[in-house]
Every structure is written in C-alpha cells, then in structure tokens.
Structure 1
Amino acid sequence: MNQEITLSVADVLLVEDDVHTAKYIERFFKNSHVHITTATDGITGQNLATSHLWDCIILDRRLPGIDGLTILNKIRAANIQVPILFLTTMDGILDRVIGLRSGGDDYLVKPFALTELSARVESLIRRSKNLAKETRLLFADVEINLLTRQVCRAGSTLYIQPQELKLLEYFLRHPQVIFSREMLLQAVWNIDFPIRTNLVETHVSRLRERLGRDAPQLIHTVKRKGYILRNSET
C-alpha cells in the first residue's frame, strides 16, 4: 500500500540522448504510477533538472551539450537533493566510483533490464520520501537539517561536501554500530563489488576535519573492524 502511494506521485526526469532508449523506457512506465519527462540533450536536461521538483532523475553520462557529471554538479551546487540514478554505457569501475563519488545515488550500466531500472527508481523514490518525513537528525552536539541539508555542531554551521554528508547521515542514523569499510562502500556509495580504493578512509578523514579536530571526536576507528559513531573512545 505504501509503495503504491509513493509511486502514484512519482515525477521522474529522464535525460537520455538515445531516442530509442528513451522511448523504450517511456513505453515501459506509460501505464505505471511513474510519469516520465524526457530531455534528449544536456542543456535541456540541466534546465529541467534545476527548475522543477522531481522525485527522481535518470541521467546519462554522455550527452550532447552538457555531460551528465556537469549536470549532477549543477544540481548539487543548487542544493537540490533529488535522487539521481546514472544510466550509462560507461561500465568501468572508475566510472562508477566517479559517478557515485560526485553525488550520484545509484549507477546502472547499459544494456539493462527495465524491471531492474524500475526497481531501482522505486527504491530511490521510496527512500527519499521516507527521509522527507523527518526534519532533522541529532547525535551529541551534531545536527543535520534534512530539509536544508545544513550541518551544525554546537550551534555553528559546517561546510560539508555532498558525499561526506551522506556518510555523516549514515553514521547518525546508526550510532554505536561498527561498520566495516565494505559495509560503508555498499551503504553510502552503492558499491557492492570488490574494489581497491581509499574512498572510505579519505571521506572519514575529511569528515573528522569538518567536524573539528579540536572538538571531541565522534567517529572512531575500531582496529581491524571499521568505524563507529560514539561519544567517547571508551
């Protein structure tokens, strides 16, 4: 029942320059609860993405006019937190890492199954709408405003990059839980395959800096296990 309500109001932007692929997706969703609006070039896609409140954006990486990563950066720079799913032929591990690290929420490689695309879109929309019901997350003296995406510590506003913010939000939603590097890669970056990267270590280090090296540490390293959000070292 909840899923049907979510889908009944879903307004999705598809930015895809391949007309056949766009029509393929449009036909699949035609009789569903998802309404698809299509842009076939980067400039139109960027204008639509930043001028309307979408429930989800399906975004190609390679586009005429403006590429998908540039559009993503413009969206995030405008503080628009719409879920974004990359749909692309760029299937390298580095391509996925760059897409997710830049602020994408999911990554699906062509050729693809429409049923999988649909399931991923539904999941992103459902997660986004569930988050929208909340207004803030709190732990110790750290607060995330889930509407404005603003982070404060002890009343002071902090500048947090989008992917760092996703990591911090995940920790705040699961305090006192030890997360391995692999668990964080899957939960925050949607990377569920073996990969050699210091993505987690780099973002944890940056996040600690953002939260203040002189302030009481909240994100702790647990030797040979991972990371945990807690008030003290003990």
Structure 2
Amino acid sequence: MRLLVIEDNRNLVANLFDYFEARGHVLDVAPDGVTGLHLASTQRYDALILDWMLPRMEGPEILRRLREEHHSQVPVIMLTARDELPDKIAGFRAGADDYLTKPFALPELEVRLEALLARANGRQQRRVLEVHDLRLDLSTLEATRAGQVLHLYPACRKLLEVLMRASPAAVPREALEFALWGDEPPDGDMLRSHVYELRRSVDAPFAEKLIHTLPRVGYRLCAPASTPVADATDRG
C-alpha cells in the first residue's frame, strides 16, 4: 500500500512508519491540513489516514474538499481521539470511509485499511502485484518468481513493491531513497547495495532479467519485452 498519513503527532507518525514500513508499505506524511490536502489531491495513494484536529485545516474540511472540489474517491480512515457518536457521524458525513478512535491497535488499523482497499476495488481478495512471472502478495508479503519463493530483507521487499507499482516506468533514485529512509538517507550509496541484494534474489537465478539500471536516472522493473534497447543493467 502507498499511504498518506495526515497527522501532527510525531510520536504517532513514527509508530505508524515503523509498523507499516516493516511490512513493506510506503508512507508519506503531512503534518498539517493544508499540506495534507495538497498531497492527497495531487498524488496517488491507496488510502489516507486522517486525524481530526490538525493545524491550518481540520480533518473534516480536508475530507469535504477532497470529495466535493477534487472529486477524489481515495479511501479514508479517520484516526482520532474524538470518540463521541456525533463526532463519528460528522466524520462519516464529511466523507470518511471508516473511523477508528485512539488509542488503537496497529494490526486493527492495517486490517481496516485492507478492507477499505478491497471494497474500493470491488472485490474481497488478496492484493497481489504481478510483473511477468514475478508476484508480490501484499497481504502475506510473500514474493515469488516462476513459482519459486524469494527470500527478501524488508528493505529489498520495499524496493520491490515500489518498482512493481511503477512498472514499467522508471523510478528515480531519489524516490527509492525516500521510500527507504524518508528525508534522511544514510551516507554512502546504500541504495546500490540494496538493489544488488534485490537482484540476487529476483534476477540472478533466472535467465530473463527484470531489474534494469537507467544511468543517471534510477531503476525500472519490467517484463523482458518491455526492456528498452538503451537500458543498461549493472550490478547495483
């Protein structure tokens, strides 16, 4: 899942990132309502996690403008300490798809998000990304190629999800670094090391290579027939 968290509580945001990123999801964060509305209306997300009390614009107003002005149907779950029935009614009427009160359990939030996505897709089934003979099950976090299970570290699994979601388009290095480390990438070229490890699992045992380097741009994952002639595959 690619999630937008619109929340100004830094400790809560850190907990959400720790939990969801470890399970292979990609998160963006907006610390205020205006930033949240801008990101939600200009970027593509699978779902939004939205607080009620926010600086610059409150959650219900963000919802109203998303639905009425931007005609967005992105699934939204409100995550708020406001637990009175009138608040819940107001949240749903503003356009929320679900409502979870604080404190909450992270696994429950994940299950609710999965249910929202299943309903939004019009089906109750596992979410699976597929490129050629490569599959990534976002529910079980199992990756396979040609039926063979791939053993991936969490960072490699996260890279794989980002590349598969974008396929066959290229993903800039900066976007991949942000997916792994946010605004604080480590010193050195750690991304190249992670891509090398990902290639060892995804490509090395197979004749057809799916991960390709675009010099001075980034990386792309695509079916062999989609591989551009000018593509250059290296070890990192």
TM-score w.r.t. length of structure 1: 0.51
SS at match of 2:100: strand
Map 1:43-62 to 2 at 5 A.
43-62=34-53
SS at match of 2:49: strand
Q: 2:80 aligns with which of 63, 75, 88?
A: 88
Q: 2:111 aligns with which of 108, 119, 142?
A: 119
2:228 — aligned with what? none
Aligned-residue sequence identity (percent) comes to 38
CA distance in 1, matches of 2:74, 2:93: 16
- TM superposition shift of 1:128: 1.1
Instruction: Tell me the matched-pair count.
Output: 122
- Gap runs ≥5 in structure 2: 124-236
- TM superposition shift of 1:31: 1.9
TM-score w.r.t. length of structure 2: 0.50
Instruction: Map Cα deviations across residues 46-103 of structure 1 (whole Å, 9 max, x no partner).
Output: 1101111211000000000110011001110111100010000011000001101221
Map 1:191-202 to 2 at 5 A.
none
- TM superposition shift of 1:125: 1.3
1:30 — aligned with what? 21
CA distance in 1, matches of 2:119, 2:24: 17
Runs of 4+ aligned structure 1 residues displaced above 3 Å come to none
CA distance in 1, matches of 2:114, 2:24: 10
Instruction: Map Cα deviations across residues 180-207 of structure 1 (whole Å, 9 max, x no partner).
Output: xxxxxxxxxxxxxxxxxxxxxxxxxxxx
CA distance in 2, matches of 1:129, 1:55: 10
CA distance in 2, matches of 1:37, 1:55: 11
1:70 aligns with 2:70: no
- Gap runs ≥5 in structure 1: 1-9, 132-234
- TM superposition shift of 1:40: 0.9
1:231 — aligned with what? none
**2:47–2:76 contact (8 Å) kept in structure 1:** yes
- TM superposition shift of 1:36: 1.1
**AA partner of residue 56 (structure 1):** A
**2:61–2:94 contact (8 Å) kept in structure 1:** no
- TM superposition shift of 1:129: 2.0
